[in-house]
Structure formats: C-alpha cells, structure tokens
Amino acid sequence: MKITKSSFIENYTKKISDSPDIGNINEAIHYAFKLTDTYGIMRINKAILEASIEYQVDETELREQINNASFMLNERKSNE
C-alpha cells in the first residue's frame, strides 16, 4: 500500500494548502480579542465571527487557534 494513496494524507494536504496565511490568522485573533474588549466577554462568539469575516479566515480554524494552548503560552510570553 502506497502512502500517497491514503485519503488521510490527501485530506490533510488539502487542508494545509487551503489554510490561509498564519500572519492573517494572528491578526484576526488580535482583532477578535479587541472586539471582545469592546463587546464584553458575553459576546465573544460575535467577536470571533466578525474577525473571521474581516480577515477572511475560516471561523472554525480561528476558534481552533484561539483555543490552542501553545497560542496562549506564546501570547503570554510576548506580552510579559
């Protein structure tokens, strides 16, 4: 069995190639947090949705990046 024929690899490759620029995602994350400061924590879903639209980033991927533990650690280190 060839690895290149695997549907998992094909799907993963497609997801990577379809994913937007990581810098764009980081800007969208910062924008979502800025909107959260404006709207309040109760409207975080609205802030994430608006940031995904503003920066043309997939909302699900944006949520995954925000929930990613390594993102939180990197942000904490860079803002200390």
What span, in angstroms and rounded, lies between the C-alpha atoms of 41 and 48?
A: 11
Residue the block writes with tokens 């949705």: 49
Q: Is the pLDDT of residue 24 over 60?
A: yes
* Structural domain includes residue 37: yes
Q: Is the pLDDT of residue 15 over 60?
A: no
* Structural domain includes residue 67: yes
* Structural domain includes residue 17: no
Domain count, the chain: 1
The residue segments making up the domain with residue 47 are 24-78
pTM: 0.61
Cα distances from 5 to residues 8, 15, 61, in angstroms, run: 9, 16, 26
Q: Is the pLDDT of residue 54 over 50?
A: yes
